[in-house]
Amino acid sequence: EDKVVQSPLSLVVHEGDTVTLNCSYEVTNFRSLLWYKQEKKAPTFLFMLTSSGIEKKSGRLSSILDKKELFSILNITATQTGDSAVYLCAVGGTSYGKLTFGQGTILTVHP
């Protein structure tokens, strides 16, 4: 059975701090790892990673995948209150395209 585990489950920081969110996985026939941000309702797509060691960046957010050690990290630098959200990690592990999600990390950024 495919499994995705995120840590920490929750995190409280102050504006300007840097945070690192972790995602480890056990998946058959790994195809991709995705990060989503969920603020109020629908998760919104952040990154998709398929190759080890290649960092994806978007502004203050960046992510990297280690396929040998089966994990990914999501970094957020100079956090802002607008970064407060649930961050979800998901893995596509079969040829069918369906995703297995982790529990999510609740990030709270205080002013």
Spatial CB neighbours of 40, under 8 Å, sequence gap ≥ 6: none
- Residue 84 touches another protein, criterion: CB under 8 A: no
Do 21 and 105 contact (CB within 8 A), yes or no? yes
Give phi and psi for 83, each to the nearest 5. Answer: -85, -10
In the complex, minimum distance from the CB of residue 102 to another protein, in angstroms, rounded to a whole number:
5
Q: Does 59 bind another protein (CB under 8 A)?
A: no
* 20 lines the binding site for another protein (CB under 8 A): no
Nearer residue to another protein within complex by CB, 9 or 78: 9
Q: In whole angstroms, how close is the CB of 81 to another protein at the nearest point?
A: 22
The residue ranges that bind another protein (CB under 8 A) are 4, 6, 9, 31-32, 34, 41-45, 48, 88, 90, 92, 96-104
